[in-house]
Amino acid sequence: MRIAFLVAPEGVEQVELTEPWQAVTAAGDTPQLVSTASGSIQAFHHLDKGDTFPVDEVVGDASVEEYGGLVLPGGVANPDALRTDADAVAFVKAFFEAGKPVAAICHAPWTLIEADVLSGRTLTSWPSLRTDITNAGGTWVDEQVKVCTGGPNTLVTSRKPDDLKAFCEAFTSEFAKQK
């Protein structure tokens, strides 16, 4: 099964991309890097530049039908850029409409807020998003990982890089149910 990793051209937190990517590969699935521009993306270690990664597909050309699930890595700049891109927001919303699982960590729920998919959902995130999530109709909880099945799809969320082990275990387990 192909799994989309949606990131902006710059600003993704590298460990929030690489560890989930490795978990998807270890689960026998195929991760695909989807971005708002072709070429490569620049990852970060908090505020310092990290590695670059090649883009597999531009989000405007991507079809939700090609993917079994969506992973939204965090970083502050990454979801902030994604939520201002109409194609990225539409791509995220389409996963919810198709009933396909979505996983988001750290600041990534900003993109979910913009896609207007959080009403009635319970999730976690970096603590500073609490008010944004509440204002978008979601219920924010301070938990290492939250699996919410109370909607059209499964939504798996975590707070921060320290939660990556639990995040990866939870979302790969939920994504496996799609096979």
Q: Calculate mean pLDDT across residues 39-45.
A: 98
The domain ranges of the chain are: 2-176
The fold for domain 2-176 equals: Rossmann fold (3.40.50)
Q: Residue 56 forms beta bridges with which residues?
A: none
Residue 88 has what pLDDT? 98
Tens digits of residue pLDDT in 119-172: 999 999 999 999 999 999 999 999 999 999 988 999 999 999 999 999 999 999
Does residue 45 have an active-site annotation? no
Residue 151 has what pLDDT? 86
First to last CA, the chain: 7
Select which of 45, 107, 148, 168 is catalytic. 107
Q: What distance in Å separates the CA atoms of residue 144 and residue 130, rounded to the nearest whole number?
A: 14
Select which of 45, 46, 106, 168 is catalytic. 106
| Phi, psi (deg, nearest 5) at residue 138 | -95, 170
| Global pTM value | 0.98
Does residue 148 have an active-site annotation? no
